[in-house]
Amino acid sequence: MNKVDDIKDLSKLGKKIENYKFTYNKEGLEAFENKLGNDIFVKLDAFEFTTLCPITGQPDFADIIINYVPDNYLVESKSLKMYLFGFRNEGNFHEAVVSKIMQDLIDLLDPNYIEVIGKFSARGGIAILPFVNYAKKGTKYEDWLDKRKLDYARQ
């Protein structure tokens, strides 16, 4: 994982990628300095996410939604897209996928608040829709943790 203070130092943005990697690798994630100076809520929607069932090897399709309130860094979206491609050939349970994505983004960004939602397509008549969230200790966003979970559960 790479954090840069100047966007000109990003390695993927604006560059042609010859060979996409389809194996999990968090090292390709990049972040750039948040110079906004105010709280902003960022919503990222990866609606063509795929991974494999760890038991059958069959593909699982999902809409992965990442909501976060950055502190000092923002995730670079092309690096996020390539990172998410890395799950394509990985066997993961749905709950583990959203947890892994959230933890990797916490490690990279140290955000004030983050949540990751997986809206996986139904298999066998059951759709699995996991939700995980995190708030930095000592921030006003700690109050969001239980409220956001309850709001999601009520949907």
DSSP per-residue string spanning 19-85: S---S--GGG-EEEE----S---EEEEEEEEEEE-TTT--EEEEEEEEEEE-SSEEE-HHHHHHHHH
Amino acid at 65: I
151 is catalytic: no
In angstroms, rounded to a whole number, what is the distance separating the alpha carbons of residues 138 and 155?
A: 29
Catalytic residue among 6, 39, 53, 110: 53
60 is catalytic: yes
In angstroms, rounded to a whole number, what is the distance separating the alpha carbons of residues 149 and 154?
A: 9
Question: Tokens 């990797």, residue?
Answer: 104
Catalytic residue among 5, 6, 9, 60: 60
Question: How many Cβ atoms are within 10 Å of 58's Cβ, its own excluded?
Answer: 9
Amino acid at 95: E
Catalytic residues: 53, 60
